[in-house]
């Protein structure tokens, strides 16, 4: 157990800012600025917000704020490229403030306060909104300039294949602001000497398999496959190898002069690309998932703390050894992490790497451990994993590295097994509440677990998480598959 840390990779990624989250926060802050402008207008006109007109004026201000933000959004005012340039934002801000004032006038009549509200309110509101937005954009320009230089918006990109496509892709990226860092080029032909060790002044670091390994040891945000569309077989092979990575995978080709549209088409800098696979939980989805995990985890830990204390005491009194069992398990991006459980086996019989699965009436299990496992109470310390960020409350269950079915490792049994690691593992999951937990002795059992896990990843939502938590409490306490 002392060597457990050697199984856990230690990585330090530079802090970066998600562009969708950042622009979303700017949009939310603009709403607050519009409402602040309405408050300023009300105070300037004699404290009318403190009269019975407070409700109608507030409603009109909300209508104006919504209209102003819609004008900014429809004109591309929240695009990261637009936010970088103070000059390009001036006219959209003037237009948004003007139309916000006009929307406030219309709103006053709709809410029945048109004849009572101060006539100057919409104009003062629009002028105050203009000043506040302009001031915020000056501050934002200074902040973004500083963060851009510090690399806070930088995305790390790996390129697959030594080709003319990749050369042009790299050269176009170099013309961009400091948003992109090319971490390397990867090509399976490097080992045979068929491609050079440097391509477009970028080091060719290894094969696609090396890229998969590197993506787990360091942060890689985007993987661009730069192969001609005619090389369908080679593209399919590369995409199959990259299917378990958490990076966004895109296919780039010589599309720079063509028009393109559709949800799968996008751009990496000036390079048009076809999105093949994206991280299923990133940006706002990741933020919502994280908020749910931390909020629910803290509440559960507080409520269950008396029970946890009793269980810890029972483990200590029942047999010699530590209270907690620390086991390396495969987690997000196929990285190892330390998973916490109450110790349910005799200390000298614990199986850290899970070379042998627990069976019914297993002699290694202690008296207290037997009923704790039956009630699934041994899993409760994993709330600590939720709070340290290595696990989620709900997600695919993590397995120890040597867990087997039919004497074969899970990853060897099911081809898509590694796809489970594109999200954080969970204390409970869709597979568990559907009965797929406990000992796995057949290939079919593993396949059904993976099928449920992939369904969960594809259909995730906060409500889905809540449903699984409720089903866990109702179904999984005293589960027949827990032993």
Give per-residue pLDDT as tens, 144-157: 888 877 777 788 89
Q: 228 near 195, Cβ under 8 Å?
A: no
Which portions of the chain are predicted below pLDDT 50?
A: 1-14, 48-53, 114-115, 255-265, 483
Closest among 7, 5, 2 to 334, alpha carbons compared: 7
Helix runs in 45-120, H state only: 54-74, 80-84, 86-110
The alpha carbon of residue 223 and the mean position of all alpha carbons in its chain are separated, in whole angstroms, by 17
CA–CA separation, 325 and 322 (whole Å):
7
- How deeply is 281 buried, as exposed, middle or buried, from its count of CB atoms within 10 A (0-12, 13-18, 19+)? buried
Strand segments (E) across 119-259: 155-160, 180-186, 198-199, 202-206, 222-225, 248-252
Q: What is the pLDDT of residue 341?
A: 93
* 203 φ, ψ (degrees, to nearest 5): -70, 135
DSSP class of residue 358 equals -
Q: What is the pLDDT of residue 52?
A: 39
CA–CA separation, 172 and 76 (whole Å):
23
Q: What is the pLDDT of residue 276?
A: 63
Closest among 342, 343, 339, 344 to 397, alpha carbons compared: 339
Q: What is the pLDDT of residue 263?
A: 43
Inter-axis angle of helices 54-74 and 86-110, nearest 10 = 140
Structure-token pair, residue 67: 């209209």
Q: What is the pLDDT of residue 135?
A: 92
For tokens 């594109």, the residue is 422
For tokens 């985890």, the residue is 297
Q: 368 near 321, Cβ under 8 Å?
A: no
Structure-token pair, residue 310: 């009793």
Q: What is the pLDDT of residue 210?
A: 93
| Three-state secondary-structure class, residue 34 | helix
Q: 326 near 1, Cβ under 8 Å?
A: yes
Q: In what order do the strands lie in the sheet with 265-268?
A: 198-199, 202-206, 180-186, 155-160, 222-225, 248-252, 271-277, 265-268
Q: 433 near 468, Cβ under 8 Å?
A: yes
CATH architecture of the domain formed by 155-278: 3-Layer(aba) Sandwich (3.40)
Q: 372 near 253, Cβ under 8 Å?
A: no
Q: What is the pLDDT of residue 53?
A: 43
Q: What is the pLDDT of residue 253?
A: 59
For tokens 């954009």, the residue is 137
Q: What is the pLDDT of residue 304?
A: 92
Q: What is the pLDDT of residue 251?
A: 83
Q: Which residues of 25-49 are buried (b: 16+ CB within 10 A; e: fewer)?
A: ebeeebeebbbebbebbbebbeebb
What are the angstrom distances between the C-alpha of 367 and each of 2, 178, 307? 26, 60, 18
Q: Which residues of 413-431 are buried (b: 16+ CB within 10 A; e: fewer)?
A: bbeebbbbbbbbbbbbbbb
CATH 3.40.50.720 in the chain is located at 155-278
Q: 409 near 402, Cβ under 8 Å?
A: yes
- How deeply is 299 buried, as exposed, middle or buried, from its count of CB atoms within 10 A (0-12, 13-18, 19+)? exposed
Helices (H) and strands (E) in the chain, counts: 15, 14
Beta bridge mates, 275: 250
Task: Give tens-digit pLDDT for 263-281.
Answer: 444 566 666 566 666 666 7
The model scores a pTM over 0.75: no
DSSP class of residue 114 equals T
* DSSP of 119-160: TTHHHHHHHHHHHHHHHHHHHHHHHHHHHHHTTTT-EEEEEE
CA–CA separation, 455 and 187 (whole Å):
32
């Amino acid at each position: 157990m002392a060597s457990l840390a050697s199984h856990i990779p230690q990585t330090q990624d530079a802090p970066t800012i998600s562009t969708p989250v950042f622009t979303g926060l700017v949009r939310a802050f603009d709403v607050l600025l519009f409402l602040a402008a309405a408050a300023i207008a009300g105070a300037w006109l004699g404290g009318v917000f403190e009269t019975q007109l407070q409700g109608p004026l507030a409603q009109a201000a909300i209508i104006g704020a919504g209209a102003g933000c819609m004008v900014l959004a429809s004109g591309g005012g929240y695009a990261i490229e637009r936010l970088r340039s103070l000059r390009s934002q001036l006219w959209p801000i003037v237009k948004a403030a003007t139309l916000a004032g006009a929307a406030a006038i219309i709103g006053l009549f709709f809410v029945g306060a048109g004849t009572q509200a101060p006539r100057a309110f919409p104009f003062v509101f629009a002028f105050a909104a203009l000043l506040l937005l302009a001031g915020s954009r000056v501050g934002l320009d200074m902040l973004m300039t500083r963060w851009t230089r510090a690399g806070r918006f930088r995305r790390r990109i790996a390129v697959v294949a030594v080709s003319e496509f990749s050369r042009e892709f790299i050269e176009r990226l170099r013309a961009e602001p400091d948003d992109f860092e090319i971490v390397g080029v990867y090509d399976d032909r490097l080992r045979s000497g068929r491609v050079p060790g440097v391509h477009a002044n970028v080091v060719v670091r290894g094969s696609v398999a090396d890229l998969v390994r590197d993506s787990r040891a360091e942060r890689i945000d985007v993987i661009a496959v730069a192969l001609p569309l005619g090389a369908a077989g080679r593209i399919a092979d590369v995409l199959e190898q990259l299917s378990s990575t958490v990076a966004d995978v895109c296919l780039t080709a010589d599309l720079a002069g063509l028009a393109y549209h559709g949800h799968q088409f996008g751009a990496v800098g000036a390079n048009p690309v076809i999105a093949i696979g994206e991280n299923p939980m990133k940006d706002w989805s990741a933020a919502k998932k994280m908020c749910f995990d931390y909020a629910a985890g803290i509440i559960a830990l507080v409520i269950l703390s008396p029970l946890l204390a009793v269980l810890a005491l029972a483990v200590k009194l029942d047999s010699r050894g530590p209270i907690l069992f620390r086991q390396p398990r495969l987690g997000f991006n196929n990285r190892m992490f330390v998973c916490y459980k109450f110790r349910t086996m005799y200390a000298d019989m614990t199986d850290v790497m899970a070379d042998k699965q627990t069976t019914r009436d297993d002699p290694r299990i202690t008296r207290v451990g037997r009923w704790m496992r039956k009630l699934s109470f041994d899993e409760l310390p994993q709330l600590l994993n939720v709070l340290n960020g290595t696990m989620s409350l709900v997600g695919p269950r993590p397995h120890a590295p040597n867990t087997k079915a039919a004497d074969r490792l899970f990853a060897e049994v099911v081809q898509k097994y590694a796809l489970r690691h594109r999200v954080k593992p969970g204390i409970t999951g869709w597979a568990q509440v559907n009965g797929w937990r406990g000992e796995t002795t057949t290939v079919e059992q593993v396949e059904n677990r993976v099928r449920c896990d992939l369904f969960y990843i594809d259909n995730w939502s906060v409500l889905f998480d809540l449903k699984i938590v409720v089903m866990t409490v109702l179904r999984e306490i005293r589960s027949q598959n827990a032993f």
